[in-house]
A and B are shown apart, each in its own frame.
Chain A
Amino acid sequence: MAEELIIEAGKAEKNYWKDLWRYRELFYILSLRDIKVRYKQTVLGVLWSVLRPLITMIVFTLIFSKVAKLPAAGSAPYAIMVYVGMLPWQFFANAISEASNSLIGNTNLISKVYFPRLIIPTASVITSMIDFLIAFFLMLLLCLFYQYLPGWQIIFLPLFLLLAFTLAIGIGLWITALNVKYRDFRYIVPFIVQFGLYVSPVGFSTSVIPEKYRLLFYLNPMVGVIDGFRWSLLNGEPALNVESLLISVLISLLFLWMGITKFRKMEKSFADII
């Protein structure tokens, strides 16, 4: 005997988290679909996710190290320092742009079938994770090239990745929800991505920021993530700044909470307005 399902006005909440678990297969298959489609018809495919970080790294190294003559943070080569900063940044940037378009791209599904909508943007963030893994593998090659060995701190890397993931999903969900209702919200994403790159320590190290502006700088949650990546991949140099990490964790959690609440609130009407 199948269990009874009761649909009642204004009481969709009750079943939600249970449904999310029940639809985990769909989550898995949608992620798989996005990944397959992404690498299927593009000739450059995987190469594309290799070239992008590599070229950005070269340009950034030239500009910030050679032209602007900024100092490296530790003993690691400047190029590696830039690359390590770029790993979480590109993951974050990809994830929020993929997530914010995901619902619009799946309009036909949303207006025809029920499933917890949270699955779609989350699955698209997972797709960005694949790009991250490819870029990460490339970093290992880069280390080989520079004969540079990451230290024991690398075991903490998954924690910082989780932090980046939390932040990306939080902001992603928030923008996604607004994007369904207000179609001009998608223009915000390229802005965040472009502007964020310059206020995050990707091409330079946090140490070049004057002491008195540090706290303001730390309000950007990506600072904690990027510094955390550097700490864990570059032999603990520069040392971990607990203050910035804490701010980053708090802001990420705040965004996650905001994202989920906003998304849940808007979700009920998605099928009606999309």
Chain B
Amino acid sequence: MSNIIIKAEGLGKSYIIDHQRTERYATFRDTVSQTIKGLFNNKSSNVREEFWALQNINFEFNRGDRIGVIGRNGAGKSTLLKLLSRITEPTTGKISLKGRVASLLEVGTGFHPELSGRENIFLNGAILGMARSEIRSKFDEIVDFAGVEIFLDTPVKRYSSGMYVRLAFAVAAHLEPEILVVDEVLAVGDADFQKKSLGKMKDVSSKEGRTVLFVSHSMAAVENLCNRGMLLDKGKVAYIGTAKESIEHYLKGNDILGSKILANTKYVNEVLMFNCDNIIASEFEMGTDFTIQINAKGIKEIQGLHLGFFIKDEFDQKISAFSTAMKPLKLLYNSEENNDSYLFKIESPNLIEGKYIIDISVAYKKGGRLEYIENAYVFHILSKDVYGSGVFLNNNFGKIYLNVESTLKTKA
């Protein structure tokens, strides 16, 4: 018996993008009026474009694999999961699945707020394809895992969001499908819950031999949970291998934009970022060094003029700043380039996972700005278990983490 549980051959999914239609769904009235217009208007104003969300995907995974599916936004991860869970049909190719596929749903998708916890367990179970007898036999375990015993007969609309999440996860985790599909659901919930659910998924796979397909932007979670990895890029498989290798490929990301040419500026022309291996990148693991390179001209020629940058979070709050006025520059001569390159190597930055934005400023030390470029560059910090304790820091923990030496003094 072969051990392959999921196999995709030549899988593809295309969507037709209708450029003319801006509304999300048609109305019958519009369709009629457009058909009539079309009769009199020979020149078709309808620009239709085929968009391939996924193209020629081939892979095989074995029973008990925990597969991390990674890739940038729009790489086709969610579309792949939709195909696997049969929510939409593939346009080309085929998938062979041995066993039941269940997706861990976004919190509360299968819940009805008016119904009690007990009723919702049955409802959610049925939606995920469980028989009532099956749910009944697992009922106590589910309630136990979620820790909602005393609220079983309360409508879930009165639940706290934490209880909601726990209950939803508990149902899905106890469902025992051969293939469990998990899409970014762990982004919610506190660190404790994340740890508990990652542990549960690991158990499900290693003890019961089930296959887990895990989609996440959190490299740390993928590395922690998965043994296999698949990197998608622009609808195609870019790499399949161990989780670690896939993450490395992702971080190297040759095709990931790592520089930006600035237009309409007088002094600053280009921003680039490099990771600790000196490879151009825009995504960095938490705690690893990175370098910001700013190419500019005409700054050193003016006495007292300095170049600096601000790092902001996605809500435009300034996190930190640095300028050549603060610390003297080390000089290197490079005769080939027209531009001057300013390199700022930031050592073990204590930034927590998230999106960060760089503003660049050219100003006199005594005040007076000559140039200020807002949102000159965007980079991402990817989460990592920096303390090695299984706690993944995400934006629930702020923007900055601390290097702490903690001590407990007590009577011996």
Q: A33-B115, A33-B119, A112-B105 are in contact. Are A9 and B89 (CB under 8 A)?
A: yes
> Taking the nearest CB of chain B, how far is it from the CB of A53, in angstroms?
25
Kindly state whether residue B266 has any CB partner on chain A within 8 Å.
no
> In the docked arrangement, what's the CA distance between A268 and B86, Å?
10
B112 with A33: CB separation less than 8 A: yes
B94 with A8: CB separation less than 8 A: yes
Q: With a CB–CB cut-off of 8 A, which chain B residues contact A108?
A: 109
> Taking the nearest CB of chain A, how far is it from the CB of B155, in angstroms?
8
> In the docked arrangement, what's the CA distance between A111 and B103, Å?
12
Q: A2-B98, A114-B86, A272-B15 are in contact. Are A9 and B25 (CB under 8 A)?
A: no
B128 with A181: CB separation less than 8 A: no
Chain B CB within 10 Å, residue with most, of A28, A112, A180: A112
Kindly state whether residue A48 has any CB partner on chain B within 8 Å.
no
User: Interface code A130-159, partner B: CB below 8 Å = 1, 0 otherwise?
Assistant: 000000000000000000000000000000
Q: With a CB–CB cut-off of 8 A, which chain B residues contact A28?
A: 126
A115 with B28: CB separation less than 8 A: no
> In the docked arrangement, what's the CA distance between A36 and B12, Å?
42
User: Interface code A97-139, partner B: CB below 8 Å = 1, 0 otherwise?
Assistant: 0000000000011111111000000000000000000000000
> In the docked arrangement, what's the CA distance between A49 and B82, Å?
40
Kindly state whether residue A25 has any CB partner on chain B within 8 Å.
yes
A5 with B92: CB separation less than 8 A: no
B87 with A113: CB separation less than 8 A: yes
Kindly state whether residue B85 has any CB partner on chain A within 8 Å.
yes
A2 with B178: CB separation less than 8 A: yes
> In the docked arrangement, what's the CA distance between A8 and B128, Å?
22
Interface of A is mostly: helix
Kindly state whether residue B377 has any CB partner on chain A within 8 Å.
no
Q: Which of A58-66, A182-190, A197-205, A223-231 contacts B (4 or more CB under 8 A)?
A: A182-190
> Taking the nearest CB of chain B, how far is it from the CB of A235, in angstroms?
43
Kindly state whether residue B199 has any CB partner on chain A within 8 Å.
no
Kindly state whether residue B187 has any CB partner on chain A within 8 Å.
no
B95 with A7: CB separation less than 8 A: yes
> Taking the nearest CB of chain A, how far is it from the CB of B369, in angstroms?
48
Q: With a CB–CB cut-off of 8 A, which chain B residues contact A180?
A: 25
Kindly state whether residue B122 has any CB partner on chain A within 8 Å.
yes
Total interface residues in chain B, CB < 8 Å: 48
> In the docked arrangement, what's the CA distance between A264 and B1, Å?
36
User: Interface code A50-61, partner B: CB below 8 Å = 1, 0 otherwise?
Assistant: 000000000000
B91 with A9: CB separation less than 8 A: yes
Q: With a CB–CB cut-off of 8 A, which chain A residues contact B114?
A: 36-37, 40-41
Q: With a CB–CB cut-off of 8 A, which chain A residues contact B28?
A: 178, 182, 184-185
Q: With a CB–CB cut-off of 8 A, which chain A residues contact B84?
A: 7
Task: Specify which of A4, A12, A37, A181 is in contact with B25 (CB 8 Å cutoff).
Answer: A181
A9 with B94: CB separation less than 8 A: yes
B89 with A12: CB separation less than 8 A: yes
Kindly state whether residue B349 has any CB partner on chain A within 8 Å.
no
Q: With a CB–CB cut-off of 8 A, which chain B residues contact A185?
A: 28
- What is the chain A residue whose CB lies nearest that of B133? A25
A9 with B92: CB separation less than 8 A: yes
CB-based closest 4 A-B pairs: A182-B28, A114-B86, A2-B99, A8-B94
Binding site for B on A (CB under 8 A): 1-10, 12, 22-23, 25-26, 28-30, 33, 36-37, 40-41, 108-115, 178, 180-185, 268-269, 271-274
Q: A8-B93, A114-B86 are in contact. List 10 more A-B contacts (CB 8 A).
A: A2-B178, A4-B96, A25-B130, A33-B112, A113-B127, A115-B127, A178-B28, A181-B25, A182-B28, A271-B82
Binding site for A on B (CB under 8 A): 1, 12, 15, 25-29, 31, 82-101, 103, 105-106, 109-110, 112, 114-115, 119, 122-123, 126-132, 178
Enumerate 7 A-B pairs (CB-CB under 8 Å) in ascending A order: A5-B98, A5-B99, A12-B89, A29-B132, A41-B114, A113-B109, A115-B127
